[in-house]
Structure 1
Amino acid sequence: MNTRTGEEIASVLRTAVRAATWAPSVHNTQPWSFVVEGDEIALRADSDRKLRVGDPAGREMLISCGAALTNVRLALRALGHEPRVRVLPDPDRPALLATVRPGAAVAADEDTRLLYAEIERRRTHRAGFTRLPVPERLVEALVAEASAEGAHLTPVRSEAAIRVLAAITCAAQDVQSQDRRLSLEMIRWARPPGSHRRDGVPAESYPRVPRRTRPHFAQRDYGQGHPWGNDADQFFSVSVGAVALLTTRGDSRQDWITAGRALQRVLLHASALGLSAAFHTQALEMFHLREFLRHELCSDEYPQMIMRLGITFDDGEGVRRPVAEVLEER
């Protein structure tokens, strides 16, 4: 039986929302907002932060919000409550993605405490990895974590398939770099050096002159011709690390949220195991390329994320908006 006071529950819910804000999101758009009313957290999509050119259907936005939902659930468990979650609870309110209530009292196990500690430590990597190999047992552990959330993480072990993914990523990046609307949209989320914004991609979070991985996986050009970035890439090799595809059987809004939940569970476990992740979504933003990948490399499942996993010594600062900007308390 839960004996916490209303004030204590309110504190727990605010802490869970803070944890949610540390989820990964496309271009660090942080496309979410939260309402706390009574003992319930409502997670809503913030359509003002959707990429209207790169993500018109909102797939990447909902994946981002699904990752935030994983953090809410994890935080509640870490703070002693079993989360009671309803996904897409009201078809008449499409922006309402989930509601979460603290349920029965539970004692946080070691795994929960470990992952909760990684929420603010996890970082997105935007370069090559060191030559240190990723142990197969760690990759298989991440496969199991994705499966537990209803998605599939498939390691890409064929060198030919890795070359195909690299080539299609480079092709998509080249095409998108010629699209003025996409470039302008990216500029909105690229933070110049010294910026005090708490969203978007900081100039310090990617290499100034990136080294080409072998095979080469193109990165987003957040600098857009400016000499922005850091010099950390010189310490990394051209290793791509371990390549993996995150897929779902369906491609509905619920599937996108599921993909986000699975993605964050994988990323937190990877971080706890000493692994970093780099994402490549360019090809997934182009219908024909995504369909090609679905049929040729994903056994007709829907690709939701292309990622590389590896070992880095990247400990850059994370950037997130304060809770007061995303939370409404009633």
Structure 2
Amino acid sequence: MDSLEFEAIVAQAMLAPSAHNTQPARWRLNQGYIELYADLSRRLPVGDPNDRDLEVSCGAAVEGTVVAMAARGIGAKVTLSDQPVETGLRPIARIAPKTTAEAKDAELAAEVSKRLTHRAGFVTSPKGAFEDWEATHMTLVEDRVEIEWLAKQIDIASARVMRSRAFRSELLHWMRLHQDDPNYHTDGLNREVLAMDATTARVAPTVLGGGLYDLLSLLGLGPHLSGEAARSRDAGAIALFHWPANETMIEAGRAFYRSWLQATARGLVGWPAAALADDPETRVSVSDRFSIPGDRVLFNTLRLGAANGATPSRTRLSVREVIV
């Protein structure tokens, strides 16, 4: 594998999703192997104190690398790393090229450029979009009553998480609400990605950054301030992702991204609702209601459906910025 082929693989692999679009994955070509690292400067210490989302994000990048290699007829053997942190980079995995690629990986590669997060809501899903789709790491909820319940739980969980001023400050750090922000088109969550109108974008820093949100939350308005139920309930299905508690979240991230690419192949867009897993109370309630075994942990939720209107453009760092 030469440097040009490596860069082409990274350019496709880096389209994998990450929490708050922080893009923590970093790649290195070392004697024919691809090494993947987590850039610890892109952690979310408040929202993700145990690095669960960091590992899921980097796991998605690992899977993205495998799929990108398969698109070029190159197989991959993934070995998770146990090496120590080096200068702000945590080793995640070493990916060794193999002569034969998996056909299913190559098929998914065609979906990478089409996969997007869509927060503007959903319309009726394509007929048969959720048929014959099962996975041990995913509970697919299609019942309208249960989707309505989950939509309410998402708002409750979001309101609880947003009570923390430190969390809101961290979120604002990754929000790109004005086009003159130098990072508007590179990382984080810009106004188009958030499906946020210009007026809301102007007042968001004031509301989220200070005591006004605290006051409104005390008045019981938290779910209304961060509420998404009206759009969530229109999802064709909501996928609950869970993983064995004693196994690494890096592999969970690989499975999560793979499922999202499969959803894309079915004509669907996705919208994560990580708050359900972040908030302990709703995590327990959801796990109990949908019989997720006690030895598995709910780590993410994905609202799925057909896009209601145009999807936003993707924001990404340059390839040069993610190669170390």
* TM-score normalised per structure 2: 0.80
Q: Provide the alpha-carbon RMSD of the alignment.
A: 2.7
Which residue matches 1:14?
7
* C-alpha distance in structure 1 between counterparts of 2:79 and 2:133, whole Å: 25
SS of alignment partner, residue 267 of structure 2: coil
Query: Cα 1:69–1:222, aligned 2, differ >3 Å: closer, same or farther?
Result: farther
Q: Does 1:245 align with 2:245?
A: no
Contact 2:237 2:304 in 1 (8 A): yes
Structure 1 residue 104 and structure 2 residue 104: aligned?
no
Q: Shift in Å at residue 224 of structure 1?
A: 6.1
Equivalent residues of 2:172, 2:205 under 8 A apart:
no
**Residues 128-277 of structure 1 aligned to structure 2 (within 5 Å):** 128-130=121-123, 132-136=124-128, 138-143=129-134, 147=135, 151-194=136-179, 195-197=181-183, 198-208=186-196, 225=204, 239-252=234-247, 254=248, 256-277=249-270
* CA-CA distance at 1:257 after TM superposition: 1.3
Q: For 1:117, which of 93, 110, 134 is the aligned residue? A: 110
- State the shift of 1:96 in Å: 1.4
Note if contact 1:35-1:41 (Cα within 8 Å) is conserved in structure 2: yes
* Counterpart position of 1:95: 90
Spell out, residue by residue over 1:58-94, the C-alpha distance to the aligned partner (whole angstroms, 9 max, x if none).
101111111111110011111121111102x325459
Go from structure 1 to structure 2 and tell me whether the alpha carbon gap of 1:222 and 1:270 turns closer, same or farther (over 3 Å shift). Answer: farther
Deviations 1:241-298 (A, max 9, x none): 211211112254x2x1122111111111221221101111113112343233333422
Give the alignment partner of residue 64 of structure 2, picking from 67, 71, 77.
Answer: 71
Does the 8 Å contact 2:142/2:236 carry over to 1? Answer: no
* Pairing partner for 2:280 from 279, 287, 292: 287
Give the direction of change, closer, same or farther, for the CA distance of 1:140–1:247 in structure 2 (3 Å limit).
Answer: farther
- Does the Cα contact within 8 Å between 1:245 and 1:307 map onto a contact in 2? yes
Q: Partner of 1:31 in structure 2?
A: 24
**Distance in 1 separating the partners of 2:3 and 2:268:** 34
TM-score in terms of structure 1 length: 0.79
CA distance in 2 between counterparts of 1:162 and 1:38 reads 49
- Equivalent position amino acid for 2:93 in 1: A
CA shift for structure 1 position 180: 0.8
Amino acid at match of 2:96: R
Partner in structure 1 of residue 217 of structure 2: none
Q: 2:204 is matched by which residue type in structure 1?
A: G
Equivalent residue, structure 2, for 1:315: 311
Partner in structure 1 of residue 223 of structure 2: none
Separation in 2, partners of 1:307, 1:134: 17
Letter in 1 for 2:16: A
Q: Which deviations, in whole Å up to 9, do the C-alpha atoms of 1:211-265 show, x marking residues without a partner?
A: xxxxxxxxxx9876269xxxxx9xx89622211211112254x2x1122111111
Answer yes or no: is the 8 Å Cα contact 1:134–1:242 preserved in 2. no
Contact 1:142–1:269 (8 Å) recurs in 2: no
Q: Which of 43, 54, 74 is the equivalent residue of 1:50?
A: 43
Question: C-alpha offsets along residues 99-156 of structure 1, whole Å, 9 cap, x if unaligned?
Answer: 00211145x74x54442232122110113201x23544x324542xxx3xxx521111
How far off its partner does 1:48 sit?
A: 1.3
Return closer, same or farther for 1:60/1:181 CA change in 2, 3 Å cut-off. Answer: same
287-296 or 242-251: bigger deviation: 287-296
Please give the alpha-carbon distance, in whole angstroms, between the structure 1 residues aligned to 2:65 and 2:235. Answer: 31
CA distance in 2, matches of 1:222, 1:54: 21
Structure 1 residues 26, 18: closer, same or farther in 2, change over 3 A?
Answer: same
Closer/same/farther in 2, CA of residues 36 and 100 from structure 1, 3 Å limit = same
Gap change, CA 1:222 and 1:192, over 3 Å in 2? closer
What is the DSSP-based 3-state SS (H/G/I as helix, E as strand, rest coil) of the residue aligned with 1:266? helix
Query: Gaps spanning 5+ residues in structure 1: where?
Result: 1-7, 210-220, 228-232
CA shift, 1:159, in A, is 4.2
Aligned to 1:264, the other structure's residue is in SS state: helix
Q: 1:223 to 1:199 in 2, by over 3 A?
A: farther
Residue number in structure 2 paired with 1:213: none
Count of aligned pairs between the two proteins: 290
In the aligned structure 2, how far is the partner of 1:311 from the partner of 1:186? 27
Tell me the SS of whatever aligns to 1:204: coil
Provide the C-alpha distance between the structure 2 equivalents of 1:223 and 1:291, rounded to a whole number of angstroms: 36
